[in-house]
Structure 1
Amino acid sequence: MVVQSVTSAPESLAEEQAARIRRYLFTMGVRTACFILAAVTATQGAPWWVWGSFSVAAVLLPYIAVVMANAVRPRTAGRTNPVTPIVDHTRQIER
């Protein structure tokens, strides 16, 4: 019989999905910031490579966000061995 240790249990599906959603939302937030910065720097007369860099990032980040959100980490077993209790057969209290 294989004993399942608490430390070797894989991450729950709900926690994994929540982490992927947070990563997606963060990436899309950065994309929104790049889009706004591209518009602001282009209208303020910044060099073309500044607003161009923000524009390229705003275009490429949705693809990166989707790929990262769909990437599921492999479920691996824990790195520790289960701990089994030691049975002590000595009498502690005598009547």
Structure 2
Amino acid sequence: MSSRRTPRAHDAPGDDVQRITSAPESLADDMARRQRRYLAQMGVRMVCFAAAFFTWGHLPVVVPIILLIAAVVLPYVAVLFANAGRERRDTDDASFMQYREIGPGSGPHHQVGGGS
């Protein structure tokens, strides 16, 4: 028996076919990617703390202060990126909803707020 799919009567010639390139990233790959990004940002934070410690007194005070501010802000940014969730990566602007115009109702028309 052949593994080819034979066309059936109910198959329309214009049916969309799923492409492997539009398949979402697996959950394990997504989690691993987000964990790597988070750990890299926390590594940059540790470098900022160490650089602020070792440059204090050797460079103008503004430089270690900026490094400390970066070290304080980085965890917030890292958590935002890590919790961003799974994003769709396809470039198609396909909508999953079909919008319809709703016409006037068929019942009696009463004004909102009372009165007849």
- Tell whether the structures are fold-level matches, with TM greater than 0.5: yes
What percent of counterpart residues are identical? 50
Structure 2 stretches of 5 or more lacking a match?
1-14, 93-116
Aligned to 2:42: 28
Cα RMSD for the two superposed structures: 1.9
TM-superposed CA distance for 1:15, in Å, is 1.1
Aligned length: 78
TM-score norm. by structure 1 comes to 0.71
After superposition, give the CA deviation of every residue in 1:16-61 in whole Å (9 maximum; x if it has no partner): 111111110010000000000000011x431111111111011111
Tell which has more relative contact order, 1 or 2 (C-alpha 8 A, sep 6+).
Answer: 1
CA contact (8 A) 1:9 1:78 kept: no
Match of 1:70 among 83, 103, 116: 83
TM-score norm. by structure 2 comes to 0.59
Match of 1:7 among 9, 21, 43: 21
Q: Distance in 2 between matches of 1:40 and 1:63?
A: 24
Cα gap change, 1:66/1:35 in structure 2, threshold over 3 Å: closer, same or farther? same
